[in-house]
Amino acid sequence: MKTIVILISGRGSNMQAILRAGLGVRIAAVLSNEPHAAGLEIARAAGIPTVALDHRGFSSRDAFDRALAAEIDARAPDLVVLAGFMRILGKDFVQRYFGRMVNIHPSLLPAFPGLDTHRRALQAGVRLHGCTVHFVTAEVDHGPIIVQAAVPVLPGDDATGLAARVLEQEHRIYPQALAWLARGDVRLDADGRVGFPHARAAGALIAPLPDA
């Protein structure tokens, strides 16, 4: 059975979706840089060990990264899962877990890396927005893509409504990506992209729909 650790900073709804999915993995710990993250309560209620490591208590980013790595390595995980973890991680940290650390981002990368993605997508006038699960590399929100879900932007959408519909899809694709990873179905190729031995895909998602 594969072992994972999950890193959060806040509400923890993606973490909860992963817990609920019953992936047949051992969740060794949930770690947060925010001691009051609501997700920590959810994890505790589910009987998962939690660790709060307040980044404000460290003299440098490196010192925080090292303490975080020590907590992670003590659990010897196969996968490190960032689920709404809002700290930027240093190069050494990212390198240490390259190929076994994944993140979910609320946009169709490489569009809209960074924060405030839903508002920026609306402002850009895109018809399709969405979310992406990817391996983590030193460049924030840029690593090899595992899976994406596209969500149509609807007339009258505001950032809150759009975020809610994207979040629903996050809760579908993140557990699925982890299931594939745990089964060894996701391969990181030498060209830096993800190979997919058993890919299935929808024909197309078009928004707005063409005339019938």
Q: Contact region for ligand GRF (CB under 6 A) — 7-15, 18-26, 49-57, 65-73?
A: 7-15
Residue 83 touches ligand GRF, criterion: CB under 6 A = yes
Say which of 55, 105, 129, 142 is annotated catalytic.
105
Cα distance between residue 188 and residue 194, in whole Å? 5
Distance of closest approach, residue 100 Cβ to ligand GRF, in angstroms: 18
Of 90, 106, 130, 143, the residue at the interface with ligand GRF (CB under 6 A) is 106
Establish whether 105 is a catalytic residue. yes
User: Does the protein bind ligand GRF through residue 32 (CB under 6 A)?
Assistant: no
- The answer to the question of residue 132 lying near ligand GRF (CB under 6 A) is no
Give the CA radius of gyration of the chain.
17
CA distance 196 to 205: 20
Residue 7 burial class via C-beta count within 10 angstroms: exposed 0-12, middle 13-18, buried 19 and up: buried
Q: What distance in Å separates the CA atoms of residue 154 and residue 165, rounded to the nearest whole number? A: 10
Residues making contact with ligand GRF (CB under 6 A): 8, 10-14, 39, 83-84, 104-106, 167, 170
